[in-house]
Amino acid sequence: MMNEPALTIKNLMVRFGEVAVLRGVSASLPSGAVTAFVGPNGAGKTTLFHAISGDLLPDKGIVSLRGKPITGMAPWKVARNGLGKMFQDVRVFDSLTVIDNVLLALHEHEGLSVWASLTGVPMWRRHAPKLLQEAESWLEIVGVERPYDRPAGLLSFGNKKLLALARLMAGKFDVFLLDEPTAGVSPVLVERIAELIRKMANRGITIALIEHNFSFVTNVAEHVYLMREGTIQDWGATEEVLAKDENREILIGL
Amino acid sequence: MENYVLHLLTMIGIYAILAYSMNLVTGFGGLLVFCLAGFYGVGAYTHTLLQVGGAESRLADELLFSAACPFPVALLGAALAGGGAAIAIGVVALRFRGDFFVFATLGFQMMLYTVLYNWNELGRGAFGIYGIPRPVVFGWEINQPWEYVVLVGVVDTMVLPFLFLLYRSPFGLSLKALRDNERAAESLGISAFRQHLSALMVAGAFSGIAGGLYASYVTYIDPTSFGLNESIFIVSLLLLGGSGNIRGPIIGTVVMILLPEALRFVGLPDSFAANLREIIYGFALILLMYWRPRGLAGDFSLR
Ligand SMILES: Nc1ncnc2c1ncn2[C@@H]1O[C@H](COP(=O)(O)OP(=O)(O)OP(=O)(O)O)[C@@H](O)[C@H]1O
Ligand SMILES: [Mg+2]
């Protein structure tokens, strides 16, 4: 079953100097489903996500979010259009407290200006307890280790990933791009992350993720795209794509 | 002796505004800027031109314009001019990243200085402007050293809370996030350019106010007070005291203003003391960066 796509990518090309890293990638993310991008190291998966989120300007191709073209848009504008992202290297705000990391995502974007911050003092003061509560409940849902008032830089790697996830969930995004959400994370946390991803998808959020952990992919993703050397090698239902011998060879027998 | 203490208090009050302005941009925003003295100078000159004038003023003919404005209006003008200069410079400088941004602010600092130095029709260039009127605030004529302490104290208590509020506000939080990881902050919908430009604008406006206060305190200004040296001095207030919080900048300001005075009392010959002071400054800063990269009381390392 393919719903109307939340995000479509057409013929995306990216080159770094002489090297073509994406050579015409087309894909679409069905709304409210989980789609995985798999492929050997260096296949261009992270580059694809960067090109979607505006962190990188593609040389060619079109990205559209619910029919609206977002190609070449600044990353913060793409985010305001509802696309949230978790980086491969996590990127929590180390010097902010754990709870401030989530609070930041909860604030309305307009409320972050100097003007709103000065004129809306009673407002952000009054909202503060409510927002704090909400931030705390996201942290609890995700299961980030307490205490929440210490700098996020002190968290373990696994907990930083959870925090990045909590930050995404607190933001008002309806499409998530997750770059290797389970890499370097203990098996217990992998199971919890899988659960969270399914929960998010059930709430109607469209999720794309990059993964090397195939049992995890089989566990959470309905669809999978297999990438190799900057192209889409195969795509379809997860079980089918991962079952083919030639695909297994690309993935495992490098 | 008493007047001397009052003088130091006045200077601390003026530099506190500069240090806290710098703190917003550098301590919270993570942007090292070397053109704050430029904004300070723009404020000082704007304030002066707006203040000078009136029937008995001979000086007015030698300036680009003179408006004989009341003191509060002139100070407001200084804030607008400082903020405006910061926006103009920020729009260009923020196109550059990292070290290049720092160099761009350095370049603009030199440009502002050169303009003040060579544009004779504006404010008599290198000759400077003397006889700047003493402030009259709602009928209160300010003459005595203690009156200046009160004036600067009142202005500080009026403007610094705005900065402290911004430090704690959602705006301040977004600046800290950008400082920690710009791309992650942008992925949450925060525009680095907008937030950084806003921070620069606020810092420029407040530095402009500091400039206005300075001009009407010393009653004589020339471009040398607003050069690169001065910008480096302001950066070092923050380096020394520490940034990203409220206590750091004031500690840095007090120490940096009192230190040379303390050296003076050691009783060295004046010509020698001045040079030695510079050497001790430099040496102290290097030691500090080595031992305490966060400054004496900072939350955030500028390294
Ligand atoms: N900024 C860059 N400049 C030059 N080459 C780059 C750059 N970024 C990535 N590459 C190259 O592009 C190719 C694809 O990189 P990418 O990070 O997209 O791979 P990936 O599929 O995410 O790999 P992994 O599974 O290891 O994360 C690699 O060969 C990489 O060396
Ligand atoms: Mg990758």
Specify if B302 maps to a domain. Answer: no
Nearest Cα of chain B lies from the Cα of A78 at a distance, in angstroms, of: 7
Host domain of residue B228: 2-291
Strand (E) positions, chain B? 136-137, 140-141
Q: How many domains does chain B have?
A: 1
The arithmetic mean of pLDDT across residues A155-172, rounded, is: 93
The arithmetic mean of pLDDT across residues A229-246, rounded, is: 86
Is there a contact between A189 and A12 (Cβ–Cβ < 8 Å)?
no
Q: What is the pLDDT of residue B148?
A: 87
Specify if B80 maps to a domain. Answer: yes
Q: What is the pLDDT of residue B55?
A: 55
Residues with CB under 6 A from ligand 1: A 16, 21, 39, 41-47, 88
For residue A37, which ligand has an atom nearest its CA? 1
Q: What is the pLDDT of residue B231?
A: 87
Nearest-by-CA chain B residue for A101? B177
Phi, psi of A20 (to 5 degrees): -85, 115
C-alpha–C-alpha distance, residues B202 and B196, integer Å = 10
What single DSSP character describes residue B151?
Answer: H
C-alpha–C-alpha distance, residues A172 and B65, integer Å = 52
Phi, psi of B96 (to 5 degrees): -95, 150
What are the pLDDT digits (tens) for A197-234?
Answer: 999 999 999 999 999 888 899 999 999 999 999 999 88
Is there a contact between B87 and B201 (Cβ–Cβ < 8 Å)?
yes
Specify if B21 maps to a domain. Answer: yes
Which chain A residues have a beta carbon less than 8 Å from that of B244? 95
Distance between the two ends of chain A, CA-based, in angstroms? 32
Percentage of residues in chain A having pLDDT higher than 70: 98
A152 has pLDDT over 70? yes
Is there a contact between A207 and A178 (Cβ–Cβ < 8 Å)?
yes
Q: What is the pLDDT of residue A27?
A: 94
Q: What is the pLDDT of residue B87?
A: 97
Pairing of β A68-69 and β A60-65: antiparallel
Domain of residue B234, CATH code: 1.10.3470
> Is residue B113 classed as helix, strand or coil in its secondary structure?
helix
The arithmetic mean of pLDDT across residues A159-182, rounded, is: 94
Q: For all residues of chain A together, what is the average pLDDT?
A: 90
Buried b (16+ CB within 10 A) or exposed e, A107-131: bebebbbbebbeebeeebeebeeeb
Specify if B296 maps to a domain. Answer: no
Atom of ligand 1 nearest to the CA of A48: 18
What are the pLDDT digits (tens) for B153-204?
Answer: 999 999 999 999 999 999 999 999 999 999 999 999 999 999 999 999 999 9
What's the CA-to-centroid distance between A50 and ligand 2, angstroms?
10
- pLDDT tens, N- to C-terminus, chain B (303 residues): 778 889 889 999 999 999 999 999 998 998 989 999 999 999 999 999 888 776 556 676 677 677 678 889 999 999 999 999 999 999 999 999 888 888 999 999 898 888 888 887 767 777 778 878 888 888 788 888 888 889 999 999 999 999 999 999 999 999 999 999 999 999 999 999 999 999 999 999 999 999 999 999 988 899 988 988 888 888 888 887 777 788 888 888 888 888 777 777 776 676 776 677 677 777 777 776 776 666 666 666 654
Taking CB atoms and an 8 Å cut-off, how many pairs form between chains A and B?
103
Q: What is the pLDDT of residue B52?
A: 78
Unique residue bearing structure tokens 């991008």: A37
Atom of ligand 1 nearest to the CA of A212: 25
Which chain B residues have a beta carbon less than 8 Å from that of A150? none
Buried b (16+ CB within 10 A) or exposed e, B93-106: bbeeeeeebeebbb
The sign one gets for the Cα dihedral A68, A74, A79, A81 is negative
A61 has pLDDT over 80? yes
* ipTM here: 0.91
Atom of ligand 1 nearest to the CA of A43: 21
pTM of the model: 0.91
Question: For residue A242, which of A254, A1, A222 has the smallest C-alpha distance?
Answer: A222
Which chain A residues have a beta carbon less than 8 Å from that of B190? 76, 104, 109, 112
Specify if B299 maps to a domain. Answer: no
Among A22, A46, A228, name the best residue to mutate to test ligand 1's pocket (greatest count of ligand atoms within 8 A of Cβ).
A46
